[in-house]
Amino acid sequence: MRRVTIIVIIIFLTLSLSPAYAYWIWTPKTGKWINPKAAVKSTPQEQFDLAKSFYDTKKYEEAKREFRKLLKHYPKSFEAAESQYYLGLIEDAQGNLYEAYQAYQKVIDKYPFSERIPQIVEREYKIGEAFMSGQKRKAMGVSLPVENPSIEIFNKVIENSTYGLWAAAAQYKLGLVLKGLLRYYEAEEAFNKVVSNYPDSEWTAAAKFQLASCRAAVSRGPDYDQGSAKEAKEKFEAFVKEHPDAVLSSEAEKNIEQLKEKEAESNYNIARFYEKQKAYDAAKIYYNDVMNNYPNSQWAVKALERLQILEKRK
């Protein structure tokens, strides 16, 4: 009877334990139960091939799991750098752009001699452009860890490839992002670096235009800055002179006219101030300046009218 009871208990234990061990195997070598999902191949190349096979069939979650196992168990292998790169490709394919950028950047930070770095810098630049154009995270309702990823990413592209293929473009795009955020002084600094660090770049001419545009924007602030307006006009004029056939030259000329109109208005207002203070000689100087230097502005006509009124005061 006792023997039967023991057999029943063994059968019961076997049946109750079998589900728990359904995904585990016994390895005589280690003398332990091992979960195959957590097991790693005996060489980094074998592990990489397994992970790559999942990647090739677009089984991205499985691929990520196997690439991460390789990174954990073979961190100094050649395949480790490749695995980190493929983790970036997977995040990219899944539309997780910021995570893709972070994964790519880890290759540069941890494996600076990787042959993938030129490709990675290009991918980072493209991701920066995507965020610049307003592209957001694929998963709705999930906020990004930084307010404007393109600023961080373009700065990294410049750092990763100071005088490389994408550096000048990233420096220029960084300026555009900052300008779009109304951070004009920072934008000017970025555009100045395009001109000074990459004078022969295709982005240099456009950077000069943007420098003038930033100065003009500063002058149009709550308090009109005549000095900034004058500097902006001079920069636009220099741009037109240096690049008469550039696409941006016509826009520069429009900006010059707008700045002249603003200057005329400012001088007219100064004249009116002096006139109200009964400093008529000073008022006449500014009215004449408006007429002589801004004859095509609407303020020239008004200045003439005020001068005629002052003449009648004699």
Tell me: the pLDDT tens digits for 45-102? Answer: 999 999 999 999 999 999 999 999 999 999 999 999 999 999 999 999 999 999 999 9
Per the model's pLDDT, the better-predicted residue between 129 and 230 turns out to be 129
Tens digit of each residue's pLDDT (9 = 90 or more) over 239-270: 888 888 777 888 888 887 878 787 888 788 88
Higher pLDDT pick, 36 / 42: 42
Residue 147 has pLDDT above 80, yes or no: no
pLDDT at position 37 over 80: no
The residue that leads in pLDDT, 261 or 157, is 157
13 pLDDT tier (thresholds 50, 70, 90): very low
Q: Residue 210: its pLDDT value, please?
A: 93
Who has greater pLDDT, 232 or 95? 95
Length of the chain: 314
Q: Determine the residue type at 165.
A: L
Q: Give the span between the Cα atoms of 169 and 174, in whole angstroms.
A: 8
3 state SS of 296:
coil
Residue 42 has which token pair?
């005996």
State phi, psi for 25 to the nearest 5 degrees.
Answer: -135, 150
Report which listed range, 29-43, 83-97, 212-226, is most confident: 83-97
DSSP strand E in 121-251: where?
none
pLDDT confidence tier of residue 139, bands split at 50, 70 and 90 = very low
Phi, psi (degrees; rounded to nearest 5) at 79? -65, -20
Summary count for the chain: helices (H), strands (E): 14, 2
Reported as a pLDDT band with limits 50, 70 and 90, residue 224 is: low
* pLDDT cut 70: percent of the chain above it: 82
In tens, the pLDDT along 158-200 reads 999 888 889 999 999 999 999 999 999 999 999 999 999 999 9
The pLDDT mean for the chain works out to 84
pLDDT of residue 6: 53
pLDDT at 181: 94
The pLDDT, as a whole number, for residue 141 is 45
Q: Mean pLDDT across the stretch 119-126?
A: 97
Contact 200, 180 (CB under 8 A): no
pLDDT for 36:
61
pLDDT at 140: 41
Residue 274 CB coordination number (10 Å): 17
Whether pLDDT at 214 is above 80? yes
For residue 46, which amino acid is it? E
- Rounded Cα gap, residues 282 and 210, in angstroms: 36
- For residue 272, CA distances in Å to 196, 260, 296 come to 43, 18, 19
Residue 144 scores a pLDDT above 80 = no
Residue 228 confidence class, pLDDT cut points 50, 70, 90: confident
Q: How far apart are CA 218 and CA 213, in angstroms?
A: 9
For CA atoms 79, 80, 85, 89, the dihedral sign is: positive
**∠ CA 101-125-160, rounded to 5°:** 80
Distance, in Å, from the CA atom of 218 to the CA atom of 228, rounded to the nearest integer, reads 7
**pTM of the predicted model as reported, rounded to 2 decimal places:** 0.75
Task: Please give the pLDDT value at position 25.
Answer: 59
Distance CA 229, CA 225 (A): 6
Burial code (b: 16+ CB inside 10 Å, e: under 16) for 153-162 equals bbebbbebbe
